[in-house]
Structure 1
Amino acid sequence: MKTLIRKGIVLPTLLMVMALSMTLVGCTTEVEKIVEVEKVVEVEKVVEKIVEIVPEKEKREIVFSGLNWDSALVQNAVARYIVENGYGYPTSQIEGDTVPMFQGLRKGDVDLAMEIWLPNQNAVWDEAVAAGEVLPVGKSLEDNWQSSFLIPAYVHEEYPDLDHVEDLKEDKYKELFAEPDSGGKAVLYGCIAGWACRGVQEGTEVGPGQIEAYGLSDHVELRDPGTGGALAAAVEGAVAKGDPILFYYWGPTALMHNVDEYDLGQPDPSDCQANDPVHGCAFPAAEIMIAMNMGLVD
């Protein structure tokens, strides 16, 4: 009986103690919650971009061939304006005759030529292109002609039988164009010394030239007017007076637009080797090229 009481007391007591303990624990213990706060720090990366400003390379001067006749000078003026104002290159021109100017183009003293007349310069042109010294870049002018044996139309009207270079061997026609200092020969106002066409008339290492090939050496004196302007003045002066004159000229030009000319007959260009009149035939239709020194291409 004593044992049962003890058990009955002890069990409830234990339960009360356990309950009290749980209560005390519940009342006196704080539960700490640790909240981890992740702080995101944004790092702004500043990149400095260093731009090096390179000064514009200085543009070199472009040198033009200043050939001394109107069409070449006009073309130079137009081309130089475009090069200077369109592309920002300074330009200049060296004035001179055909032969020295072409040599300057080959050597690089001249960068650009607006008129290379072929076949007048066939031999040196072919050499320069083959050697890689000169580059053709296109045609310059179209529908061009030239002749060494022109007379005013009114002279032909007065002397209709004067229609071929062979007729210049006759005394009456030689006298028609003779001058006091020509020794009885007909005076031919021809190409200027230094123009490539001069070689066509008097001969080169390539061929005898028109005068010799036509058998006119004893009948015609080839006279150098000195300048293109003097040649034009000689023609204009004779025409103004209605005088006879035998002359070289080319077209289309302002002078030939104003002067009615007659071209004396000559052997056809097809009769000459490579159509080159230096062998003794008329000038074929001219091919006029624009060309530059290869150094300008580089």
Structure 2
Amino acid sequence: MVIHHFLTKKVILLIFALTLFAVVAACGGSDQAVRQVEVIKEVPVEKIVIKEVIKEVPVEKIVKQEVIKEVPVEKQVILEVIKEVPVEVIKEVTVEKIVEVQIAPSVKDKREIVFGGLNWDSALVQNGVARYIVEHGYGYPTSQIEGPTLPLFQGLRKGDVDITMEIWLPNQDAAWNEAVKAGEVIPVGKSLEDNWQSSFLVPGYLQDANPELDSIEDLKTDKFNSLFEQDGGKAVLLGCIAGWGCRTMQDGSPDTGVGQIVGMGLEDHVVLRDPGTSGALAAAIEGAFAKEEPILFYYWGPTALAHKLDMRDLEQPDPSECADNSPVHGCAFPAAEIMIAMNTELVADAPELITFFKNWDWSAGNQLAAEGWYSENKTA
């Protein structure tokens, strides 16, 4: 019992001593650092190179030869035997044909062609084009006599003028019908197309400022009549030039009719003024438009001036309300028929020109382009 107690006590002491030793050892080793070293060792690597060897292998070329064998062809000749048959000639007839040949005269024998030089741009432009073709295309020398409509038409009737490029109908109806009936002139073609004319035009800016001014009837009222230049208490109408066919339509004549002024009842409200020339008429219109002044005027188209300016037509009685649709009886101008006229003596002297003028085609587009060029170059 005592021994057992003693052994037990020794064991306890031994355990205590071991524990104390372990604690001291742990405390003493805390100041030492533990270092871990990583060692990298180079290991030789074996490099394997694979080489691709291309070996040329001879290729055997096989040529195929085509053998053409000549085969003898047997040529067969067929002989055609023509049998001669006697033909009996009953009657031998000899026909003699006479051919009449008309020889055109040489250039030196061709006579001069005289054109009527009407004094407005569209006629002068057409004259220039036609004369160039007649001279260079047909070999005829040409000339031109300038003047107004009526004297030149009388020259055409007498043979002093050979060609007139613009005969405005119905403006010249009476004289034209008389000359055709007398066998003095013939129509050989149509001239200026897409045409119009009016005796009662006003500027667009004036109508915009006075929307109720839209008829010739308004010219009979003081409200609108007084807008225009006055002469003796009447509005001035800048009208056709004396000697033009349209002038007769405006102021009339004993042989044709009373004219537009009287026929429309405007004789107490409007006075007709002659501008003198087409150039003066155009200048007066352009001047008024530039200053935006009121103006009552006559003009026509297609023309460069009418294309450029805003011209507005006052309402007038329709041509169908007048005898023969003629404005000389007091109505508006209808669309004109504009003819190319030839003196009948020229028919025998230059017959080939009839076909040329029958094929004449002068549209509004042609006229505007040509007149624009002419306006820029006529004074050059």
TM-score of Structure 1 vs Structure 2, range by shorter chain: 0.7 to 0.9
2:368 — aligned with what?
none
The gaps in structure 2 that reach 5 residues or longer are: 1-104, 349-380
For the pair 1:195 / 2:244, whether they are aligned, the reply is yes
The question of whether the paired residues in 2 share the 8 Å contact of 1:174 and 1:184 is answered with no
1:183 — aligned with what?
232
Shift of 1:88: 1.2
Q: How does 1:1-298 map to 2 (within 5 A)?
A: 58-179=109-230, 182-204=231-253, 205-298=255-348
Q: Percent identity?
A: 73
Q: Which has the higher strand share?
A: 1
Larger displacement relative to structure 2 (160-169 or 64-73): 160-169
Give the direction of change, closer, same or farther, for the CA distance of 1:56–1:218 in structure 2 (3 Å limit): closer
Shift of 1:113: 0.3
TM-score normalized by structure 1?
0.80
The question of whether the paired residues in 2 share the 8 Å contact of 1:206 and 1:278 is answered with yes
Shift of 1:172: 2.2
Larger displacement relative to structure 2 (127-136 or 191-200): 127-136
3-state DSSP of counterpart to 1:142: coil
Q: Distance in 1 between matches of 2:302 and 2:115?
A: 23
Give the direction of change, closer, same or farther, for the CA distance of 1:67–1:161 in structure 2 (3 Å limit): same
Letter in 2 for 1:156: Q
3-state DSSP of counterpart to 2:226: helix
Which structure has the bigger radius of gyration?
2
Give the direction of change, closer, same or farther, for the CA distance of 1:237–1:64 in structure 2 (3 Å limit): same
3-state DSSP of counterpart to 1:138: strand
Shift of 1:112: 0.2
2:43 — aligned with what?
none
Q: Deviations over 1:209-260 (max 9, x none)?
A: 0001111111111000000000000100000000010000001110011111
Q: Distance in 2 between matches of 1:143 and 1:265?
A: 20
Shift of 1:161: 1.1
Shift of 1:127: 1.0
The question of whether the paired residues in 2 share the 8 Å contact of 1:113 and 1:291 is answered with yes
3-state DSSP of counterpart to 1:176: coil
Letter in 2 for 1:136: P
Letter in 2 for 1:105: L
CA root-mean-square deviation: 1.3
Q: Distance in 1 between matches of 2:201 and 2:139?
A: 44
Q: Deviations over 1:135-188 (max 9, x none)?
A: 100101111000000000111111111111111111122211124xx1221000
Q: Distance in 1 between matches of 2:143 and 2:176?
A: 23
Q: Deviations over 1:96-130 (max 9, x none)?
A: 00011111111111000000001101111111111
Q: Distance in 1 between matches of 2:191 and 2:302?
A: 13
The gaps in structure 1 that reach 5 residues or longer are: 1-53
Letter in 1 for 2:243: G
The question of whether the paired residues in 1 share the 8 Å contact of 2:107 and 2:139 is answered with no
The question of whether the paired residues in 1 share the 8 Å contact of 2:107 and 2:140 is answered with no
Shift of 1:201: 0.2
The question of whether the paired residues in 2 share the 8 Å contact of 1:140 and 1:289 is answered with yes
TM-score normalized by structure 2?
0.63
Q: Distance in 1 between matches of 2:106 and 2:339?
A: 37
Q: Distance in 1 between matches of 2:288 and 2:160?
A: 39
Q: Distance in 1 between matches of 2:146 and 2:277?
A: 13
Q: Distance in 1 between matches of 2:133 and 2:280?
A: 31
Q: Count residues with an aligned counterpart.
A: 243
Letter in 1 for 2:248: G
Q: Distance in 1 between matches of 2:177 and 2:138?
A: 31
